[in-house]
């Protein structure tokens, strides 16, 4: 036909050049993800400092390839120099409120790669269920999973997720949230949780992890020793959010302990006591940690390289919190405006898009401490039947 | 298909009398289905007056499902399948039961919108299955609208040729027949909606001269508005078009739309203005709208079809036939609208509180469940005119990738409200049953 576009020289090869080899390693917060893409007549060249940049560039390249009505694949002449603004671009999945089969997680990792996300924040256990099969404490999932046969992540499942993610340049940052959000830990670890009291007698219900027992810290040490070995990333997310003090207050042994320690009536001091010991344990395992903002808000003494995860929308408004966290010298992650589980009618992607993470009062050094953010898909109303269309 | 539903998931499946393991007593050998009426209806189509009542007796050795017509047998079969459960050893159990059941409302519908986004056949059929699990009996197929015209018309092939999103995003006559038959086998009526005079942008692509040209001063702007009500050609077209629709869709009713007619374009058009003068309508364009609607209603009546219309048609005082069904969809003060519609003697169905496309965070099924359709001022006779309702899933943000999880199980709350007795309102009890039902539907 006369109107046909005259195509240039057909190209058959994309040359990928990576300056520093490192295909067998795991990605990290410091990984270089920059790349250059040169498309010109007869030459397709993708170059990057590290393999992680090559992955990002490959994704971009795949998006540039078009197909015309005759079925011919084509690509426009292009010159691209690209690199991420923020080094931590994460997605949170919650596999405790509802179990997510392996394929749902792997599928999510694929789509994350299409969108250049590089951190999979695996909120693996919580109050409703404990699907993580621990080899140190097999009873945890035996007693705590929704179904110990069908609704668990075996060691090989976990390794598959980690490797599948690695091949896409995605870090797996696991979260074992304590001392709150731990009801499912109780059945498999008797004595771990605080027994609540109704007057003089135990009511039969349980609260957060019991911070006054030595056995608690022995357990925590062993568990995190395992977690540190299983998950290769430098960072572990330790949670620390929404600790309900009611149960602690009701327990006479705890009241006695509060007295002994001179904490008075301030249960945040007790929470800090637990968290500090947890942080020390995890540090001694040579891991870095991320914590939810309450740990910072409650004045817990944390190491300077702690990352604080800002999630609360109000009191204080999250931009103020970002300013406070970075002013105090900590690195910050933003999730507050990106709770994608909170669905609403219409094009709500726009509200998420309009967020400007650095829009707070602060000096340049502060702003540099914002290392990125995470979109969160909490699982109260989400399982494999609706995860993908809700998230993407 | 009910055998599959009940026993299909079982680990122990094999040929023979049944998947029972060790013979346990007492044993249920058979479910006998008895349809009493001499005209059971197996080769016919369900309609508004069909009998959906059934009587189920589960006792050993034979359970009996009795219904007047096949439609009741279908409902009873669904119930029976929900009673059968599997224990941890793979045995199938059913409790001894005596059930006498019938729907509270005769019109229990789901609206699907295939114009804002095309829905592939598979998607529609999956939802018909889900509807049957929830005893819904009407598919309100909002098949065309402004955005696209996927219905392949036999008399006017240009409509979909030019109006569909693309050549393959259409419903051929065979597709339509498939949907109608698939629905029929589940006791579901298919009521198509060809919404006019508004919501018709896509019609203008394949039918030049149908829509009103809008003007800016003396000049046509190049854009078009609602169907042009002043031309004879419009009514010639509609006569032909609805002749086809009436024969393609076997249900006694056709939904004619009539909602959200924007008068601006009509107002701008000098020929329309002149017509208004001639007819003595003054500046009341609602009168022009009613003029149009009435003519369409007459056309459709001549094909012996009943009509369903959106509430504006009633609100704007068009002359409706006495058996017109008015669909109340505007949320603001809908109880008041129900009173007005029924007071004027028209049949009504309720959609207003059940726009399921309006998603929100959390357990919003509860607010759909809490709706009591008869909570409006009116006499006994008036209340009888409310024949049911519809859960609507408009398609602006919905396609095959998210239709099913968005619609279900929230629509189940509406299904129960429309079928069950008015005193079935306990949310905690409903929650327990809904969670089980959802897993069953999966």
Cβ–Cβ under 8 Å, residues A118 and A28: no
Does A342 contact B at CB distance below 8 Å?
yes
Does B14 map to a domain?
A: no
Which pairs from A153-156 meet CB under 8 Å and 24+ separation? Answer: A153/A95, A153/A102, A153/A124, A155/A230
Residue of B nearest to A342 (CA): B361
* CA-wise closest residue to B121 among B396, B400, B356, B398: B400
Q: Model confidence at B16, in pLDDT bands (50, 70, 90)?
A: very low
Does A6 contact B at CB distance below 8 Å?
no
- The Cα of A380 is separated from the nearest Cα of chain B by a number of Å equal to 8
Inter-chain touch A345–B442, beta carbons under 8 Å: no
Residue of A nearest to B439 (CA): A385
For residue A346, give Cα distances in angstroms to B121, B144, B358, B366, B398.
25, 21, 8, 21, 10
For residue B218, give Cα distances in angstroms to B223, B259, B265, B272.
14, 29, 13, 13
Inter-chain touch B362–A389, beta carbons under 8 Å: no
Question: Residue A89 is inside which H or E element, if any?
Answer: strand A88-94
* B217 plus B121 within the same structural domain: yes
Cα–Cα distance measured from residue B294 to residue B292, given in angstroms and rounded to the nearest whole number: 5
Cβ–Cβ under 8 Å, residues B185 and B179: no
From B79, B101, B123, give the residue that closes a domain: B101
For residue B98, give Cα distances in angstroms to A341, B59, B62, B71, B439.
43, 9, 13, 19, 25
SS3 A236: strand
Does A73 contact B at CB distance below 8 Å?
no
B358 contacts on A by Cβ (under 8 Å): 345
**How high does pLDDT run on average in chain A?**
95
What's the pLDDT at B337? 98
Q: Number of C-alpha atoms within 13 angstroms, CB side, residue B80?
A: 25
The residues, ordered by sequence, that sit 6+ positions from A284 with a Cβ below 8 Å of its Cβ are none
* CA-wise closest residue to B175 among B118, B234, B137, B226: B118
B442 contacts on A by Cβ (under 8 Å): 385
Active site residue A242: yes
Does A348 contact B at CB distance below 8 Å?
no
The residues, ordered by sequence, that sit 6+ positions from A159 with a Cβ below 8 Å of its Cβ are none
Whether the pLDDT of residue A255 is over 50: the answer is yes
* B203 plus B259 within the same structural domain: yes
- The Cα of B406 is separated from the nearest Cα of chain A by a number of Å equal to 8
Inter-chain touch B361–A344, beta carbons under 8 Å: yes
* B420 plus B290 within the same structural domain: yes
Does B18 map to a domain?
A: no
Question: Residue A44 is inside which H or E element, if any?
Answer: strand A43-50
What's the pLDDT at A303? 87
- The Cα of B296 is separated from the nearest Cα of chain A by a number of Å equal to 34
Does A149 contact B at CB distance below 8 Å?
no
What's the pLDDT at A9? 67
Average pLDDT over residues B308-336: 94
Query: Tokens at residue B223, please?
Result: 């854009």
Does A346 contact B at CB distance below 8 Å?
yes
* B114 plus B35 within the same structural domain: no
Within its chain, how far is the Cα of B132 from the centroid? 13
- Chain position carrying tokens 């702690």: A306
* B158 plus B288 within the same structural domain: yes
Strands (DSSP E) found in chain A: 15-20, 35-40, 43-50, 66-67, 73-74, 78-82, 88-94, 119-123, 171-178, 193-198, 201-209, 235-239, 288-292, 307-310, 331-334, 370-377
Return phi, psi of residue A300, to 5°.
Answer: -70, 140
B435 contacts on A by Cβ (under 8 Å): none
Q: Model confidence at A21, in pLDDT bands (50, 70, 90)?
A: confident
Number of domains chain B is built from: 2
- Chain position carrying tokens 């957060």: A208
Beta-bridge partners for A374: A90
What's the pLDDT at B323? 86
Taking only the tens place, the pLDDT of each residue in B137-181 is 999 999 999 999 999 999 999 999 999 999 999 999 999 999 999
Inter-chain touch B360–A390, beta carbons under 8 Å: no
Does A107 contact B at CB distance below 8 Å?
no
Range of the domain at B138: 107-441
Inter-chain touch B402–A345, beta carbons under 8 Å: no
Taking only the tens place, the pLDDT of each residue in B76-117 is 999 999 999 988 888 899 999 999 999 999 999 999 999 999
* B334 plus B376 within the same structural domain: yes
What's the pLDDT at A1? 44
Whether the pLDDT of residue A2 is over 60: the answer is no
Q: In chain B, what percentage of residues exceed pLDDT 90?
A: 90
Residues of B with catalytic roles: 260
Average pLDDT over residues A8-30: 89
Does B349 map to a domain?
A: yes
SS3 B241: helix
Does B358 contact A at CB distance below 8 Å?
yes
From B101, B128, B156, give the residue that closes a domain: B101
The residues, ordered by sequence, that sit 6+ positions from B393 with a Cβ below 8 Å of its Cβ are B110, B111, B112, B113, B356, B357, B403, B406, B407, B411
* B277 plus B134 within the same structural domain: yes
From B48, B72, B101, give the residue that closes a domain: B101
CB-nearest partner of B361 from A343, A385, A386: A343
Taking only the tens place, the pLDDT of each residue in A173-204 is 999 999 999 999 999 999 999 999 999 999 99
Return phi, psi of residue A197, to 5°.
Answer: -120, 150
**How high does pLDDT run on average in chain B?**
94
Query: Tokens at residue A179, please?
Result: 């001392």
SS3 A143: helix
Q: In chain B, what percentage of residues exceed pLDDT 70?
A: 96
- The Cα of B185 is separated from the nearest Cα of chain A by a number of Å equal to 27
ipTM: 0.91
Whether the pLDDT of residue B386 is over 70: the answer is yes
What's the pLDDT at A6? 62
CATH of the domain at B348: 3.20.20.80
Q: Model confidence at A269, in pLDDT bands (50, 70, 90)?
A: very high
Cβ–Cβ under 8 Å, residues A290 and A333: yes
Does B40 map to a domain?
A: yes
The full set of domains in chain A, from first to last, is 15-82 (3.30.379.10), 88-391 (3.20.20.80)
Mutation choice for B interface testing from A385, A387, A388 by most B CBs within 10 A: A385
Does B435 contact A at CB distance below 8 Å?
no
Average pLDDT over residues A20-45: 94
* B152 plus B187 within the same structural domain: yes
Inter-chain touch B405–A390, beta carbons under 8 Å: yes
Average pLDDT over residues A245-258: 96
Does B295 map to a domain?
A: yes
Query: Tokens at residue A319, please?
Result: 């931009």
Whether the pLDDT of residue A39 is over 90: the answer is yes
Average pLDDT over residues B296-305: 96
A343 contacts on B by Cβ (under 8 Å): 359-361
B405 contacts on A by Cβ (under 8 Å): 385-386, 389-390
Cβ–Cβ under 8 Å, residues B404 and B387: no
* B46 plus B195 within the same structural domain: no
Residue of A nearest to B403 (CA): A389
Does B414 map to a domain?
A: yes
CATH of the domain at B92: 3.30.379.10
* B436 plus B353 within the same structural domain: yes
* B128 plus B256 within the same structural domain: yes
- The Cα of B397 is separated from the nearest Cα of chain A by a number of Å equal to 7
- The Cα of A86 is separated from the nearest Cα of chain B by a number of Å equal to 29
Query: Tokens at residue A139, please?
Result: 């009873």
Whether the pLDDT of residue A128 is over 90: the answer is yes
Inter-chain touch A389–B401, beta carbons under 8 Å: yes
Cα-based angle B308, B310, B311 (whole degrees, multiple of 5): 120
Inter-chain touch A389–B397, beta carbons under 8 Å: no
CB-nearest partner of A345 from B358, B362, B363: B358
- Annotated catalytic residue, options A13, A33, A163, A242: A242
B402 contacts on A by Cβ (under 8 Å): 386, 389-390
Whether the pLDDT of residue B296 is over 80: the answer is yes
- Max alpha carbon distance in chain B (Å)? 87
Inter-chain touch A386–B405, beta carbons under 8 Å: yes
Q: In chain A, what percentage of residues exceed pLDDT 90?
A: 93
Does A69 contact B at CB distance below 8 Å?
no
Residue of B nearest to A344 (CA): B360
Does B16 map to a domain?
A: no
Residue of B nearest to A389 (CA): B402
Whether the pLDDT of residue A44 is over 70: the answer is yes
What's the pLDDT at A42? 82
Q: Model confidence at B15, in pLDDT bands (50, 70, 90)?
A: very low
- The Cα of A113 is separated from the nearest Cα of chain B by a number of Å equal to 20
What's the pLDDT at B318? 87
* B80 plus B166 within the same structural domain: no
Does B361 contact A at CB distance below 8 Å?
yes
Query: Tokens at residue B428, please?
Result: 């905690």
Does B402 contact A at CB distance below 8 Å?
yes
Cα–Cα distance measured from residue B136 to residue B139, given in angstroms and rounded to the nearest whole number: 8
Does B17 map to a domain?
A: no
- The Cα of A347 is separated from the nearest Cα of chain B by a number of Å equal to 8
CB-nearest partner of B397 from A341, A346, A388: A346
The residues, ordered by sequence, that sit 6+ positions from B227 with a Cβ below 8 Å of its Cβ are B196, B197, B200, B203, B210, B211, B212, B234, B292
Return phi, psi of residue B380, to 5°.
Answer: -55, -45
SS3 B248: helix
Q: Model confidence at B14, in pLDDT bands (50, 70, 90)?
A: very low
A346 contacts on B by Cβ (under 8 Å): 397
């Amino acid at each position: 036909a006369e109107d046909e576009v005259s195509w240039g020289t057909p190209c058959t090869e994309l040359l990928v050049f990576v300056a520093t080899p490192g295909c067998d390693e795991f990605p990290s917060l410091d990984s270089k993800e920059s790349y250059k893409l040169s498309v010109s007549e007869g030459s397709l060249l993708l170059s990057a400092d590290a393999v992680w940049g090559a992955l990002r560039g490959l994704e971009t390249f795949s998006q540039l390839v078009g197909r015309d009505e005759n079925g011919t694949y084509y690509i426009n002449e292009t010159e691209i120099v690209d690199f991420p603004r923020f080094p931590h671009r994460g997605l949170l999945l919650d596999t405790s409120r509802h179990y997510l089969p392996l394929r749902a997680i792997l599928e999510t990792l694929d789509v994350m790669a299409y969108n250049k996300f590089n951190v999979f924040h695996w909120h693996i256990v919580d109050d409703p269920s404990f699907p993580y099969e621990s080899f140190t404490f097999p009873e945890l999932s035996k007693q705590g999973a929704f179904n110990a046969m069908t609704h668990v992540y075996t060691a090989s499942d976990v390794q598959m997720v980690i490797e599948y993610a690695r091949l896409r340049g995605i870090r797996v940052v696991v979260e074992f949230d304590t001392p709150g959000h731990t009801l499912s830990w109780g059945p498999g670890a008797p004595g771990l949780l605080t027994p609540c009291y109704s007057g003089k007698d135990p009511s039969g219900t349980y609260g957060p992890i019991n911070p006054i027992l030595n056995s608690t810290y022995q357990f925590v040490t062993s568990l995190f020793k395992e977690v540190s070995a299983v998950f290769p990333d430098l960072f572990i997310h330790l949670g620390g959010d929404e600790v309900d003090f009611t149960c602690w207050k009701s327990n006479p042994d705890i009241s006695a302990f509060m007295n002994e320690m001179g904490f008075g009536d301030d249960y945040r001091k007790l929470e800090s006591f637990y968290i500090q010991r947890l942080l020390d344990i995890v540090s001694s395992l040579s891991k870095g940690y991320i914590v939810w903002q309450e740990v910072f808000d409650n004045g817990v003494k944390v190491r300077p390289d702690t990352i604080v995860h800002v999630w609360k929308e109000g009191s204080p408004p999250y931009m103020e919190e970002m300013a406070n966290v970075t002013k105090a010298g900590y690195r910050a992650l933003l999730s507050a405006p990106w709770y994608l589980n909170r669905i609403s009618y219409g094009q709500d992607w726009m509200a998420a898009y309009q967020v400007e993470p650095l829009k707070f009062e602060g000096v340049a050094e502060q702003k540099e401490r914002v290392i990125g953010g995470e979109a969160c898909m909490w699982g109260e109303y989400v399982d494999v039947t609706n995860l993908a269309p809700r998230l993407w | 298909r009910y055998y599959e539903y009940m026993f299909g998931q079982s680990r122990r499946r094999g040929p023979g009398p049944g998947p029972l393991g060790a013979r346990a007593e007492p044993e249920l050998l058979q479910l006998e289905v008895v349809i009493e009426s001499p005209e059971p209806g197996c080769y016919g189509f369900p309609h508004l007056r069909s009998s959906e009542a059934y009587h189920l007796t589960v006792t050993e050795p034979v359970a009996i499902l009795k219904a007047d017509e096949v439609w009741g047998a279908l409902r009873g079969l669904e119930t029976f399948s929900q009673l059968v459960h599997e224990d941890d050893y793979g045995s199938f159990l059913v409790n001894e039961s005596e059930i006498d059941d019938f729907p509270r409302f005769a019109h229990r519908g789901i609206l699907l919108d295939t114009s804002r986004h095309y829905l592939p056949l598979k998607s529609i059929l999956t939802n018909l299955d889900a509807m049957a699990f929830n005893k819904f009996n009407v598919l309100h197929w909002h098949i065309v609208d402004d955005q696209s015209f996927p219905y392949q018309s036999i008399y006017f092939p240009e409509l979909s040729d030019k109006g569909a999103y693309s050549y393959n995003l259409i419903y051929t006559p065979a597709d339509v027949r498939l949907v109608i038959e698939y629905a029929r086998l589940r006791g579901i009526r298919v009521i198509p909606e060809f919404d006019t005079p508004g919501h018709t942008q896509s019609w203008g692509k394949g039918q030049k001269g149908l829509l009103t040209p809008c003007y800016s001063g003396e000049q046509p702007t190049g854009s078009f508005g609602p169907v042009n009500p002043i031309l004879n050609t419009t009514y010639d077209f509609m006569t032909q078009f609805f002749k086809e629709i009436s024969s393609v869709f076997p249900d006694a009713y056709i939904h004619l739309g009539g909602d959200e007619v924007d008068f601006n374009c009509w107002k701008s058009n000098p020929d329309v203005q002149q017509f208004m003068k001639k007819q003595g309508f003054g500046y009341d364009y609602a009168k022009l709208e009613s003029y149009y609607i009435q003519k369409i209603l007459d056309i459709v009546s001549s094909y012996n079809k009943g009509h369903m219309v959106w509430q504006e048609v009633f609100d704007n005082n068009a002359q409706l036939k006495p058996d017109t069904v008015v669909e109340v969809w505007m949320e603001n003060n809908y109880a008041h609208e129900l009173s007005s519609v029924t007071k004027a003697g028209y049949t009504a169905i309720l959609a207003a509180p059940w726009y399921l496309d309006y998603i929100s965070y959390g357990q919003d099924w509860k607010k759909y469940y809490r709706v009591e359709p008869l909570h409006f001022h009116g006499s006994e006779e008036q209340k009888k005119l409310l024949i049911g309702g519809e859960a609507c899933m408009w398609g602006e943000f919905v396609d095959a990738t998210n239709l099913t999880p968005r619609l279900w199980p929230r629509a189940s709350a509406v299904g129960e409200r429309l079928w069950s007795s008015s005193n079935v309102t306990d949310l905690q009890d409903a929650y327990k049953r809904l969670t089980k039902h959802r897993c069953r539907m999966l």
